[in-house]
Structure 1
Amino acid sequence: MIENFDVKYWNECITQISNATSVSLFPHIHADGDALGSVFALAVALRRMNKSVKVFLCDKPEQSLEFLVPDKDLGVEIIISDSVNSEDIKSYIESPSDLAVGVDCATPARMDDCYAVYAASPNKIKIDHHVENECDRFGDCSFVNHKWAATGEGIWLLLRAMDFEIDKEIAIRLYTALLTDTGRFIYSNVTPLTFTIASELIKVTGSDVTWIARQVYDVKPPRMIMFLSLVYSNIEYFENGRVAYVYAPDQMFKDAGALLEDSNAISSLMRDIEGVEVSIFVRDGKHGALAEDDRSLPALKASMRSNESCDVARIASVFGGGGHLRAAGLSFAGEESALKEKLLAEVRKQLNA
C-alpha cells in the first residue's frame, strides 16, 4: 500500500505516452545508475507497449553499468551522440519521435548535444527528482518530485499508475536506480517509499540484487585503484579539516591510465574521511553545447558532497549548477584557482552561518 498515491498526478503523462507511437528518451550526460536504470526501464516498458523507442545517450555507459543496456532483441534503438556525425543528429531533428521524455535530467544543458533532438519533438515531458527552479523547467509538462530518492521511484510510480506489470528486465533496472542514488540505501534521501518500492522490486528480481550490488560497487579495475591513490595524495583540507578539496587535471587521469568513470565515486569517498563535512572534487571538463561561457577559458567540472551542515545544491546554484541537498555538481569556465577560491568562500558562508 502506497499512502497518498495519486494516479491523477500522472494522467497527462499517461495520455502523452498512450497517444505516441514513437518515443525518444533522454538521460543526462555522463549518465549514472539512476539515469541509465530509469531510462532503460522505461524504454523496455514502452517496447512492451509496442512503441518505437529510441534512447539518446551523450556518451557510452561506464563499464560497471553496461549490464543495464537492453539486449538488441528487445528492440530499443540506442544512439550515442558522441559516436555519430552531425548529419545523423540532423536527421533525428528533422524526423523526431512523437514524444520526447527527459529522464533524470534537471536542465536542458544536462542533455548536452542531445537537447536539440529533444526540443524537436512535438510533445515533450520531463520526469526527474532534482530540485527544480523556474529557469530549469522545460518540456510541455514536468513530473518532478525532489522527495523521490531516485528518478527510478518516479518511473515505478508511473508504471504502477498505468497498471503495467513490471517484469524482471524492468525490475533489475529500477532496483539499480534506487540502489545507486541512495548509496546502497544509506543516504538521507531514503524514505519509507524507497524501501517499499525496493521490496516490490526484489520480489521480482530475487537473488539478482546481490549480483547487481557486486557489479556496481565491488568490481574495480586496477587503473581505478591507481587513480584513487593519486587523488588521495593530493587532497587539501580547509576549515580545520571540515572541507576536503582535490583537483584532478587530465594529466592525472593519463598518469593512472584512468577513465572518466573511475572518478565518479571520489567526492563520496572523500566525504567519508573523518571530520570532513563537505567534499569537493574538481576535474577538467568541456564546454557544453548550450554553454554561454567564454570558450577561451578552461572548462572545469566540480562534484560536491556533504553530511549534515551544508546544502551543496544551493552552493552549486550560485554557479549555475544544481543537484540535491547532499550531492550536487556544476560546470565552470575559468582557472582552477579561481573556482577553488569561489567554492571555498561559498562553503564557508554555510559552515559559519
Structure 2
Amino acid sequence: MLTILGIETSCDETAAAVLEIDQDGKCEILSNVVHSQIDKHTPFGGVVPEIAARAHIQLLDGIVEQAMKTANVNYSNLSAVTATAGPGLIGGVIVGLMTAKSIAMAINKPLIAVNHLEGHALTARMTDQVEFPFLLLLVSGGHTQYLLVKALGEYERLGTTIDDAIGEAFDKTAKLLGLPYPGGPAVEKAAKLGDPTVYKLPRPLLDRPGLDMSFAGLKTAVRTAALKEEPVSEQTVNNLCASFQEAVADVVGQRSARAFQLFKDRYPDTPPKMVIAGGVAANEAIRTRLNQVAAEQHAELIAPPHKLCTDNAAMIAWAGAERLRQLAAEDPSILEQNGIGDDMNEAPRPRWPLDKKSESVVGFGRKGAKV
C-alpha cells in the first residue's frame, strides 16, 4: 500500500492531493484540493505569471494542510512526496517543487519530480485502468499535442501545434470579441447561439501530412471578419464564435482520424483507444466531434472526469506513484530513501518536452527545448 502526497502549481491552480494505491494498483483519492486563481487574473484577460507565483506562495501551505486533513493522513504515513517540476510558469513551479522538497526532507521520504504532461498522460490509468499503448490528445490553454503513450516513461509526440494552443486560441478569440475570461467557456456559450456556416474560416494545415496543427491564423481570420462587420452586433459575435469553434472541431476531428489510423498501423492487433485530457476536453462541440471520429474508426475515446482533466494534484500524485511502484519492484529499499536518484536535486523547468527524442518545433533556447 502506497500513500502519496501530490503538489501541482504549474499555472494558476494551487493544488494538493493524497492518494492511496493498493498492491493491485487500484487507487483511492483521499483528497484533491484545487484552488483556482481565476478571479485574480480575470481583470487582465489572462494569467499573469507574477500574480500566479505570489498567490501560490500565499496559498500552498494551507492547501497542503487541507489535503492532509481531508485525507486523515499524518505526514509520517506518507510513502513519498510528488510535485510538478515543469513545464509551466517558472515562478509557480519553483514554489511547488521547493515545498515538496522541504516536506520530503523533513519526513525523510522519497521525492518524485513529475513532468506535468506525464500527469495528464497517465490520468486515465488511474480512473479507467487503461492499458498501454494508447493515444493521448492533450488540449489545454498551454498545450495541444498528440502523443503515443507506449509504456511508463516511453512517449512519442506525433503532432503538436506550431503556434497557439487550442485553449490559448479560445482565450484570445474571446478577448478580441469582447467576451469575458476564461475564454473557452465564453466562446462555447456564445457559439450555441450562433450559426457556424456564416463565416468561412480556414482549417490550417489540413492539406499537409502529419498531425501538426496551427491556430494562430484561425484566430487572425476571426479578427479580420470582425473588423469587416464593425460595429459588431451580439449576433455577429455569436456567429463568429460558432464558426471559430466549428473550424477547431474540424481540425481536431481530422487529425484524430489520422492519429487513429497511425495507431492501427503501429499496433494492428491492439484495439485503438485515445485518451483526451486538458481543460478544452470539456468543450461539448469538440467532444462530440471526437466521439463521431472514434465511432467511425471503431476506436474507443476515454475522457477522465472533468475535474481530473484540468490541472490538479491527484494526477501528479498518480504519475509519481506509477514511477515509485516501478522502482520499488526492482528495489524495495527505495521506499526508505530520501530522494530517488537525482530528484532531490531536480531543478524547476519552464520547458520539459515529454518526448525527449522529438525535434523541437520552434528551436532550442537557454531554457531548453520548446514544446
Looking at both structures, which has the greater relative contact order when contacts are Cα pairs under 8 Å and sequence separation is at least 6?
A: 2
| TM-based fold match above 0.5 | no
Question: TM class by shorter-chain length?
Answer: under 0.3
Larger Rg belongs to: 2
Tell me the TM-score normalised to structure 1 length: 0.27
